[in-house]
Amino acid sequence: MNNLFSLQNKTAMVTGGASGIGRAISQLFAQRGAIVHIIELNEAAAANLVAELKADGYKAFAHRCDVSAQDQVGTVVERITGRIDILVNNAGISHVGNVENTTLTDFEKIFSINVKGMYNCLHAVVPRMKKSGGGVIVNLGSIAASVGLTDRFAYAMSKGAVLSMTLSIARDYLPYAIRCNSISPARVHTPFVDGFIAKNYPGKEKEMFEKLSKSQPIGRMAKPEEVAQLALYLCSDEASFITGTDYPIDGGFIKLNN
C-alpha cells in the first residue's frame, strides 16, 4: 500500500507552489517521493517551504518566476535538468466584479496571469515532455468555468479558458503519452479567503466565514490538502487511463445547489 500513488523519483513543477492549494500540492508530492520545483513570485515563501521540505528529508527547489512573463518561464524550465514528468498549473489570482465594474486593467491582469501564465508554462513544458516520452499535466480551474457565480465575470472568463486549454492539450498530445486534466474546486479555505473576508467584512469575519462555508451543500469549505490529494491521484500511474477530464471538487455545489 505504501507504493500506492507513488511519485518516486519523478520531477514535478508546481506553479504558485508555496501558498494555499499550491503549497499543499508541493508538500504532498514531495512526501510521495517527487523532486518538486516550486515556481513562485513570492521568493521568500518558496525558500521557506523548500527549507521545511529539505529539513524533513525531501527533495525540493525554489524558482522565482512571474508566470505571465514568457521569458522568465522559459529560463526557469531550462534550469530544470532532466525530465519534467509532472506540471501542475496552479498559479492564479481572483477578482470580484461584474462586466460593468471590471476595468480593462482588471481584465488584462486576470488574463495575463490566469490564462497567459498557464499558456506560458504549457508552451515551455510540453515540448520537454514530448521529447522525453510523456508526462502529466494538471491545471487548476474552478467551478466558475461551469456555473454562473455572482460578481466573478473576469475570473470566470479565465477559468473557462483553463478548461478549454485542458481539453486541447489532452487531444493534441494523445500520441505523445501526455495526459492533461483539470481540477475545479469550489471555495477552498486558504489564507486568501481569510484575507478577503477581513478586508471586505471587518468586524463580521466569523459571520461571513460561516455564510461562505454553508454556500457549499456539504456545509464547509474544502481544505487545500483535499485538492492536493486529487492532484496526486491524477498525476500518479494509478490514473494512467484518465485524460481530457475536468474534476469538480465542490462539496456538491454544481449538482446539489438548487
DSSP E strands, the chain: 11-15, 35-40, 59-64, 86-89, 135-140, 178-185, 246-249
By the 10 Å C-beta count (0-12 exposed, 13-18 middle, 19+ buried), 189 is classed as: middle
Catalytic residue among 155, 201, 233, 247: 155
The length of the chain, given as a count of residues: 258
User: Half-sphere exposure of residue 149, counting CA atoms within 13 Å on the CB side?
Assistant: 24
Buried b (16+ CB within 10 A) or exposed e, 70-100: bebbeebbeebeebbbbbbbbbbebbebeee
Active site residue 247: no
Cα of first residue to Cα of last residue in the chain, in angstroms, is: 40
Active site residues: 155
